[in-house]
Amino acid sequence: MSTIQVVFLTSDKVGADEPALGSRLMTGVVDLLDQLPVLVKSVLLTNTAVFLATKNSDTITSLKRLEGQGVEILVCTTCLNHFGLMESLQVGKASDAKTILSTMVLADKVLKF
C-alpha cells in the first residue's frame, strides 16, 4: 500500500460557488481519508480548514478516528488565534508555521484541497 504523507487542507469547503455544498463535500473528503487505498501520515489544517477541528464541526469524529489510527493532525496556531478558536480546538495539535511547512517539505507526496 502506498503512502500519501501529507493531506494539506486550506479551507473548510471544497470549491467556492455553493458554500453549503462545499461544506458537505469537505466533510465527505475528511470522512474518506482513512478508507483510501493509501495511507495518510499527516493532515495539516490552515486558514478556514481549522474550523474542521473545532467544536460543532461535522468532521470531529472522522479526524479523531484518523488521529486514533496514528495520523498526525496539525492545526495552524496563527489561524486558530485569528478566528478566535484556540479554546474550541477538539482534535489535533495546535502547530506553528515552521512545523507545518517542515512537514510538507519533508513529505514525498502532498495532496492539497
DSSP string, 43-78: EEE-GGGGGGGBTT-TTHHHHHHHHHTT-EEEEEHH
Tens digit of each residue's pLDDT (9 = 90 or more) over 70-110: 999 999 999 999 999 999 999 999 999 999 999 999 998 99
pLDDT at 1 exceeding the cut of 70: no
Cell of 76: 495552524
Distance between CA 83 and CA 76 in Å, rounded? 11
Question: What mean pLDDT, rounded, does the chain reach?
Answer: 94
pTM: 0.94
* CA dihedral (67, 14, 101, 89) positive or negative: negative
Please check whether the domain covering 2-112 is classified as CATH 3.40.1260.10.
yes
